Every structure is written in C-alpha cells, then in structure tokens.
C-alpha cells in the first residue's frame, strides 16, 4: 500500500537533509580551513542557506501533507518518522524568516570575532558582538515559548533535549549538589598521598596527531567516512556519511588533546553508525544532545579513563611520544583521574566537571529569562566560580565566561546536555556490566567490541525512533537514574 502524503514528506525532508549537509561542511570549513577575510561572505552564504531551509519547512503545502499523512495507514516506523517531521515543522513555523537570517548572520560574526577576542581577553569587544546574539535568542525563546506553552529557556533547551524541562534539570542538579562537594573533598584528601608524575615534553604536534589517529583507529572510527583536523574549539561536525572531528594541540601537554580526540570520536561513532537507510529523515538522526554527549562521555570518561583502557594504550603512547616513567600505566591512571578544580571546562576532571555545567545552566537561564543582562555575566560568573570551585576569575574573561564557543554561537540551552550525558553514560555501563560481568577484564585486554556492540544495539541503531525516556528504558530497563553516576564515581575514585 502506498502512502502518497508520507512519500511526499520523505522527499521534502531528504532535500532538507542534503541542504543541511552543505551547511555542515561549509560550517566545518569556516571553523578549520577558511581564511579570515572569507568570514563575511561565508556568513552571508550560510544565512542564505538557512533561509532556504526555513522556507522549505514553512511552505503551506507541508502542513497539508503532514495532516494528510496522519490519516494514512502508516506502520510503526512511519508513525515515528511522522512524529519527528512534525516536531521539525513546529519549530520552524514558530519563527519568522527574518529572525532565522538575523541569527545566522549574528552568530557567524560573533563566533569569528571570538576566536581573536578570547585570547586577547577582550570582553568589551566580545560584548559588542554578543549582545545582538543574546537579544535574538531571547526573541526566539519568546516565540517558541508562546507556541509551546513552556518557559522561554525551556523552549530553547527543548531544541537539544526534546521533552526535558529546566525543572527536571534543577532536580537532578540539586541532588548532585548534595553529595558531589563531599566526594570531591574526600577524593582530593586521598589523592594528596598519591602524587602523579607530569609527562615531560615537548610533544611535537605531528606526533600527537599520529597518536590521536592511532587511538581513533582502536576506537573504530571509519577513516573512509571522516577525518581529523584542528580548530579553535574541538568539535564533531559534518554529516553521518562524512564526519569531521577536530581537536587542538599544545606541545607541552598531550593529555588534553588526546582526551579531546577520544571524546569527539565518541560523537563520531554515533554519527557513523546511525541507520543509513533512514538517516536522511529526522527519525534517522541523533535523538538528543544529551544522548549524543552520552556517547562522547562513554568514550572519554567511562572508557578513556578506565585504568584497563589506559594500560592498553600505554604502549601506543610510548611508541609515538617516547618512553618515560610518566607514561607507565599506573601513572597514566593517576593523571587521568586527578581531581583538581580548574578554570577550563573542557579540561575539567570527571568530578568537578558537573560544577562547570551547573554554573553555566544557572547563568544562561537567568540571561534568557531576562533576570540579568549580557553585561552582568562576568560578575555572576566570578561569584559562582568562587562558590562552586573556590576559584578566582575576576578580570580573566578568557578563562572565564568567554572560554566556550556555545554562547557566541547562540546555543543557549545546550549546556545541561553534558551532565545529562555523563548520567546516561554511567547508566549505559552499569547495564553493560549486568549483561557482561567480565566487561572490565575485556577492556583491560583491549577487547572493546562488547562496548561497541551494546551501544550500537541500544543507542546508535535506534536513532530517533523512540522518545528519549523510552530509549533509556529500552536500553537499561529503567528511567534515567543518577544513582549510577554516583556509584561509578565512588567506585573509581574511592574504592578502586
């Protein structure tokens, strides 16, 4: 039986996916290869592409097709696909074309300027470009809020975490805050008697890159369908058929770039293993950014900092960087589980990382809801860094509120996804250990296929077939349960 309305919708969303492909690759080039003077023209071209995609999604014919498809005898997969199509349609039709274009232009300008303003500690210059990004994000939030009947910040967060609300995030974060500070103190007291050797560089970029490529290969990255490059802020972009991973290097410390590569490889494996037969449809794409971050953190935190995995990697490190005591397995485990509050989120250890996310969540929610203005952010940042991590960031905008790419890109509502991802990742590994009690022995032996197979079966192959809560229950037989995250941290940092 044919379903003409659903077929027409599939053709339209396939076209949108192909336009998105071009946008993704042009955006990757903008961040990695494009010469500085090309930014204005690239920003205009990307804005034009966003407008074209918006026009396609807001064509009145699409609404008629969605309504008609609702009456067709669709199977379960097609019904799920239609649900995701309507979600995309709802979001686009809540926003005017002029706002979509203005946001694309403003974020291109702000992000490009941020690359030089951040190293220069130029808050005043950054604020001049960022102010319009905030104003436009507030407009978007108000329009989406009115259309969906939820708060402005929740309306933005819903783009990244469908169905999740800030009240849910508050409950999770409030629970974490009851036990995390005490755990951090206990671990730091324990580690005071367990010093770690610091690897002695320099570590030439070429050797770090070769090491990163070798580790990506061990982790199953398909180099026929992706590549590794350098950008100001590490990311995983492109499309499932052509995944672009980036990192950044410093010659005095290889540890950060290596974990950055492992993190982004987790994102990449998810993308590369989405179901190709329907990846061109919304139902075939990543479920949420929390689920996406659960893949990167499954690789970086659960697997990448696992003592058995580090012991397995130690010969690779010696091969590419030379032999020294700091690269022995026991010391690597100490290095990568060292708990010490720091200024930079992407370099944070596993225990202090949630504090960075809670801080950003509280600030950006107040900003979008109009409780504070963009100019107020540095003072609030300083206050919360002192309260949560006992660190002083006064006057240090570079390593403070300007450090992340998300805000110049207008990605308000994204940050909670990182801690959600850490919670999900701990729950994935708890489920794996129930099914495979010898998992830790396998990891220590370099046998990682059990991990990859579990993720493929329960996460990668499912794409957006299920609402997030259903996906989690099907994978682990329970709803999101933060107790697994606490148990993981206590086991690794106090009982190992």
Catalogue the active-site residues.
Answer: 264
Q: Which helix (H) or strand (E) holds 485?
A: helix 483-490
Beta bridge partners of 244: 227, 237
Residue 356 assigned to a binding site = no
For residue 311, whether the previous peptide bond is cis, meaning omega lies within 30 degrees of 0, is no
Print burial letters for 386-404: b (CB count within 10 Å at least 16), e (below 16).
eebbebebeebbbbbbbbb
Residue with tokens 């070798």: 214
What is d(CA 354, CA 341) in angstroms, rounded to the nearest whole number?
11
Is the CB of residue 316 less than 8 Å from the CB of residue 214? yes
Residue 267 assigned to a binding site = yes
User: How far from 243 is each of 24, 143, 163, 206, 265, CA to CA, in Å?
Assistant: 10, 33, 27, 21, 10
The 3-class secondary structure across 388-432, one letter per residue, is: HHCCCCCCCCCCCCCCCCCCCCCCCCCCHHHHHHHHHHHHHHHHH
CA 374-377-378 angle, 5° bins: 130
CA 465-469-471 angle, 5° bins: 40
Residue 263 assigned to a binding site = yes
Kindly compute the dihedral angle of the four CA atoms of residues 146, 147, 150, 153, in this order, to the nearest 10 degrees.
-80
Sheet arrangement for strand 236-239: 226-230, 242-247, 236-239
- The token pair at 359 is 């801080």
Residue positions forming the annotated binding site: 263, 267, 293
Residue positions forming the annotated binding site for Zn(2+): 263, 267, 293
């Amino acid at each position: 039986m044919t379903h003409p309305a659903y077929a027409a919708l599939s053709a339209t969303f396939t076209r949108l996916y192909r336009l998105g492909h071009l946008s993704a690759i042009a955006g990757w080039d903008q961040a990695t290869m494009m010469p500085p003077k090309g930014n204005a023209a690239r920003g205009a071209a990307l804005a034009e592409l966003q407008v074209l995609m918006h026009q396609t999604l807001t064509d009145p014919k699409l609404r008629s097709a969605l309504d008609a498809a609702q009456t067709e005898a669709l199977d379960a997969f097609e019904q799920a696909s239609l649900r995701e199509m309507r979600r995309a349609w709802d979001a686009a039709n809540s926003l005017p074309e002029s706002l979509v274009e203005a946001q694309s232009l403003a974020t291109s300008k702000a992000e490009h300027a941020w690359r030089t303003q951040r190293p220069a500690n130029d808050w005043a210059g950054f604020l001049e470009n960022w102010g319009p990004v905030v104003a436009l994000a507030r407009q978007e939030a108000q329009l989406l809020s009115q259309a969906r009947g939820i708060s402005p910040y929740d309306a933005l967060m819903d783009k990244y975490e469908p169905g999740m609300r800030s009240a849910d995030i508050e409950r999770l974060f409030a629970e974490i805050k009851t036990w995390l500070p005490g755990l951090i103190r206990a671990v730091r007291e324990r580690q005071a008697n367990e010093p770690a050797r610091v690897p002695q560089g320099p570590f030439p970029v070429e050797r770090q890159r070769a090491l990163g490529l070798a580790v990506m290969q061990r982790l199953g990255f398909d180099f026929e369908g992706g590549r590794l490059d350098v950008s100001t802020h590490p990311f995983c972009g492109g499309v499932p058929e052509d995944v672009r991973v980036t990192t950044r290097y410093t010659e005095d410390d290889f540890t950060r770039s290596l974990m950055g590569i492992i993190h982004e490889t987790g994102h990449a494996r998810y993308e590369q293993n989405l179901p190709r037969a329907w990846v061109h449809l919304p139902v075939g794409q990543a479920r949420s950014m929390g689920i996406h971050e659960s893949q990167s953190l499954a690789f970086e935190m659960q697997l990448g900092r696992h003592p058995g995995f580090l012991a397995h990697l130690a010969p690779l490190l010696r091969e590419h960087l030379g032999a020294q005591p700091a690269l022995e397995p026991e010391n690597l485990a100490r290095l990568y589980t060292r708990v010490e509050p720091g200024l930079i989120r992407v370099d944070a250890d596993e225990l202090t990382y949630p504090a960075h996310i809670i801080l950003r969540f509280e600030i950006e929610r107040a900003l979008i809801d109009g409780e504070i203005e963009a100019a107020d952010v540095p003072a609030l940042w300083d206050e919360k860094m002192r309260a949560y991590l006992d660190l002083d960031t006064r006057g240090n905008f570079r390593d403070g509120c300007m450090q992340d790419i998300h805000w110049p890109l207008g990605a308000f509502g994204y940050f909670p996804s990182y801690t959600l991802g850490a919670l999900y990742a701990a729950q994935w590994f708890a489920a794996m250990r129930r099914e495979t009690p010898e998992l830790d022995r396998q990891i220590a032996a370099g046998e990682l296929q059990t991990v990859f197979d579990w993720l493929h079966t329960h996460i990668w192959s499912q794409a957006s077939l299920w609402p997030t809560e259903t996906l989690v229950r099907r994978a682990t037989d329970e709803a999101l349960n933060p107790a697994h995250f606490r148990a993981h941290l206590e086991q690794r940092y106090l009982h190992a």
